[in-house]
Copies of this chain bind each other. A is one copy, B any other.
Amino acid sequence: MAERDRPTGATGRTNHYVVPATASTVHWGYFSRSLEPVLSVESGDFVTIETLTHHAYDDHARMIEGDPGAESVFLWSKDAKNVDRRGAGPMDASIHGRGAGEGFGVHICTGPVFVRDAEPSDVLEVRIIDVRPRGCRNPAFEGRAFGSNAAAWWGFHYNDLLTEPKPREVITIYEIDAAGARNWARAVYNYRWVPQTDPFGVVHPIIDYPGVPVDHALVEEKHGILKGVRIPVRPHFGVIALAPKEAEFVDSVPPGYFGGNIDNWRIGKGAVMHYPVAVRGALLSVGDPHASQGDSELCGTAIECSLTGTFQLILHKRDRLAGTPLADLDYPLLETQDEWVVHGFSFANYLAELGDNAQSEIFAKSSLDRAMRDAFRKMRHFLMMTRGLSEDEAISLMSVAVDFGVTQVVDANWGVHAILKKAIFAGEAG
């Protein structure tokens, strides 16, 4: 029974599930409408979901060693690779030879979770009840948690460097307090990426495949960097996705109507996301955990740091949406304590808009100008549909009171978000 249907005042029971991150509960680098669910829940249920950063192997000692879940997911030796497919590409790596799935998509996603009764055109509300860092299990680093920031080839800065060697990729390892007592992260050290040979013998001259073990004997750790700098922590999930309906395997990098890799740091504790359901059961996956990120995610990544989230899932059936803020929702919508936030992309639904080669085309069509237009249209839609404003009222309000920001410029389908403060409507009651 869904929580909202429970008789008032009655003592009840809501299910609370736990999904650990292991090789059998994650899929790596893609979303798929055909994945077998790891769990089936009812509307109103709670789920605690462990998520792992796909950058953990940038520092095995701090982010994998001693952690059974992470060791299970990242295990890769000459003889075994626990999670073989990494990305939406071919399993035989016939395009670039990088590895199974070709790294066309990089995020370790836990799930999918099947929501009973969910059907296309319903809306799934995902309440983020809690977000906790995953403490390091290596006794050498007890009480701490770690994350990695990769200034990578897909970053906005990459072909626009001042200093030699150009270009270069740089990994910076950050430390946060696993207990959450400190609200800031600090840099521990950085190193320049040098070619790494994976256990199957493939050389990776750049960061072109996720989870490649980094041999620290080959890199030069530079300590004493960013001295005294305190990065405010903003723990959040870069990826929360429902399965898209348009393709069998969908690269996890470009975000879209189904959510996915939105990379908005506001999608953290206390936030509520709403997604249009595209396939039966919704098929929710969560991944790409971040300890912190700035608007734009300039260099390609955030502080990529394993997190555990607790979520409550509420299903809104399509025939009960009329007249609510969720009517006609065909994009991911964020609600926080004080704000509504819509997410614009270069292409609102690139999978449908860009034809048969959409999943490669989107990487050639990144545009903030287009994302700004999409954000404008979505905020106008939201104001007209949910507040009953005329188009003229909506447009004036947007110009004088809505703030547009750069969500990310690194995920192929670039993002601009628009923030509407709820307090603007505080006078309506009076």
Interface residues of A (CB under 8 A from B): 149, 151, 155-157, 160-163, 170, 172, 174, 184-187, 190, 225-232, 292-303, 367-369, 372-373, 376-377, 380, 389-393, 395-406, 409, 416, 421, 423-430
For residue A407, which residue of chain B has the nearest CB? B404
- What 12 additional pairs, Cβ within 8 angstroms, besides A185-B400, A229-B424, A406-B406? A151-B395, A151-B396, A161-B391, A170-B392, A230-B423, A232-B424, A292-B401, A294-B399, A296-B399, A296-B402, A298-B404, A368-B416
6 cross-chain CB contacts under 8 A: A149-B400, A156-B372, A227-B428, A292-B401, A297-B399, A404-B406
B392 touching A172, Cβ below 8 Å: yes
Q: Distance in Å from the Cβ of A412 to the closest Cβ of chain B? A: 14
A380 touching B162, Cβ below 8 Å: yes
For residue A303, which residue of chain B has the nearest CB? B400
B157 touching A299, Cβ below 8 Å: no
As for how many copies of this chain the complex holds, the number is: 2
Q: Distance in Å from the Cβ of A363 to the closest Cβ of chain B? A: 15
Contacts of A393 in B (CB 8 A): 172, 187, 190, 225-226
B401 touching A295, Cβ below 8 Å: no
A376 touching B231, Cβ below 8 Å: no
For residue A428, which residue of chain B has the nearest CB? B228
Contacts of A225 in B (CB 8 A): 390, 392-393
Q: Which of B184, B294, B368 contacts A403 (CB 8 A)?
A: B294
B162 touching A391, Cβ below 8 Å: yes
- Alpha-carbon distance A57/B411, docked complex (angstroms): 46
Contact of A400 with B369 at beta-carbon distance under 8 Å, contacts A232-B424, A391-B163, A395-B151 already known: no
- Alpha-carbon distance A295/B372, docked complex (angstroms): 12
- Alpha-carbon distance A368/B421, docked complex (angstroms): 24
Contacts of A402 in B (CB 8 A): 294-296, 298
Contact of A373 with B232 at beta-carbon distance under 8 Å, contacts A399-B149, A404-B405 already known: no
A399 touching B429, Cβ below 8 Å: no
A392 touching B227, Cβ below 8 Å: no
- Alpha-carbon distance A190/B428, docked complex (angstroms): 19
For residue A190, which residue of chain B has the nearest CB? B392
Contacts of A295 in B (CB 8 A): 402-405
Q: Which of B156, B226, B376, B391 contacts A156 (CB 8 A)?
A: B376
- Alpha-carbon distance A298/B394, docked complex (angstroms): 11
- Alpha-carbon distance A428/B190, docked complex (angstroms): 19
Contacts of A303 in B (CB 8 A): 400
B161 touching A399, Cβ below 8 Å: no
- Alpha-carbon distance A428/B227, docked complex (angstroms): 7
Q: Distance in Å from the Cβ of A224 to the closest Cβ of chain B? A: 11
Contacts of A389 in B (CB 8 A): 226
Contact of A416 with B423 at beta-carbon distance under 8 Å, contacts A228-B430, A372-B296, A400-B292 already known: no
Contacts of A391 in B (CB 8 A): 161-163
B232 touching A401, Cβ below 8 Å: yes
A-B complex: 4 closest residue pairs judged by Cβ atoms: A228-B428, A299-B399, A295-B403, A368-B368
Contacts of A380 in B (CB 8 A): 157, 162
B368 touching A186, Cβ below 8 Å: no
Contact of A302 with B400 at beta-carbon distance under 8 Å, contacts A369-B368, A406-B405 already known: yes
Contact of A395 with B170 at beta-carbon distance under 8 Å, contacts A400-B292, A406-B372 already known: yes
B427 touching A229, Cβ below 8 Å: yes
Contact of A231 with B397 at beta-carbon distance under 8 Å, contacts A392-B172, A406-B404 already known: yes
Contact of A155 with B399 at beta-carbon distance under 8 Å, contacts A232-B421, A369-B369, A425-B229 already known: yes
Q: Which of B155, B229, B296, B399 contacts A397 (CB 8 A)?
A: B229
A299 touching B423, Cβ below 8 Å: no
- Alpha-carbon distance A124/B298, docked complex (angstroms): 31
- Alpha-carbon distance A428/B293, docked complex (angstroms): 21
- Alpha-carbon distance A380/B151, docked complex (angstroms): 14
Q: Distance in Å from the Cβ of A294 to the closest Cβ of chain B? A: 4
A401 touching B157, Cβ below 8 Å: no
Most chain B CB neighbours (cut-off 10 Å) among A190, A367, A369, A429: A369
